[in-house]
Amino acid sequence: MSKQDQRNKIATGDGFIAALDQSGGSTPKALKLYGVEADQYSSDAEMYDMIHAMRSRIAQSPSFGGDRIVGAILFEMTMDRQIDGKPSATYLWDTKGVVPFLKVDKGLADEANSVQLMKPMPDLDTLLDRANAASIYGTKMRSVINAANEVGIAAVVAQQFEVGKAILAKGLMPIIEPEVTITISDKAAAEDILLTEITKQLDALPEGQEVMLKLTLPETANHYKPLVDHSKVLKVVALSGGYSRDEANNRLSQNTGMIASFSRALTEGLSAPQSDAEFDGTLNDTITSIHAASVAG
């Protein structure tokens, strides 16, 4: 099946995107929530083996499939490994009917103007070539907004689209993720600025180009509806951003056209000691609730 088939799956598929892209910094926390304590591994290699085992267990679960999940975002090491004897991206698409994406950013720079830009990515071209070779459809990259600072937010969005254009040039679909921290006092004001800046960048894209957006669930329902309807946006997905799964689902269900791209909220309740039946039952309940919220709007 072609990239056009994958695009159609994202555009019209009935489901959400699973974020399975915990990186080096967030892996110990993700493992702890999964019931794996730090004293159970003695090196980074063992830690990454354990997080890959968790991701593989999720992907191989009978509940995880293209009927309710349209895409999955992978960490670089996951792309380079196998699931059930197949390269991870190939397994997701060929076996599960789930479109594979790759996290490409290298983390956050120090805060300036109340935002954190992405760190430089000097090896991006090489990584994108590897992604294409591995049958990855698109990419994801994250910045963080910590206040309604117009200068900072404009810089975040400009950087995201600059890198996004390099990704488009390689034939991949960029997911642009300027995360607004959910605990800030001026979150709604930051979202107003963000909507303006993203719209400017979208309007400036050449005809025929499109991107995806991954945004924090807004304070006002349907605040981002103009982006959902924009001709240069394939899909707007929502991050859970620290909200509980119930809160994230409730907020998502009020936003027409947005679908989930949850990470921690997806793995909430899963643990290594669970039997396969317990694990799959918990995951099925989770997927059912996230899927319902994604199609509710």
Which structure tokens are listed for 20?
Answer: 């399975």
214 has catalytic annotation: yes
Distances (CA, A) of 179 to 66, 95, 214: 26, 32, 8
Which structure tokens are listed for 35?
Answer: 């019931």
Element (H or E) spanning 71, and its range? strand 69-74
225 has catalytic annotation: no
Catalytic residue among 96, 103, 140, 214: 214
CA–CA distance, 122 with 153 (Å, rounded to integer): 23
Q: Which residue has the tokens 């027409």?
A: 256
Q: Residue 215 phi/psi, 5° resolution?
A: -130, 150
Catalytic residue among 9, 76, 140, 177: 177
DSSP helix/strand/coil, 95: helix
What region, left, alpha or beta, does residue 63 occupy, with left being phi > 0 and alpha being psi -120 to 50 degrees?
A: alpha
Q: Residue 2 phi/psi, 5° resolution?
A: -95, 175
CA–CA distance, 148 with 171 (Å, rounded to integer): 33
CA–CA distance, 266 with 261 (Å, rounded to integer): 9
Nearest to 122 by CA among 104, 134, 136: 104
Which residues are designated catalytic? 177, 214
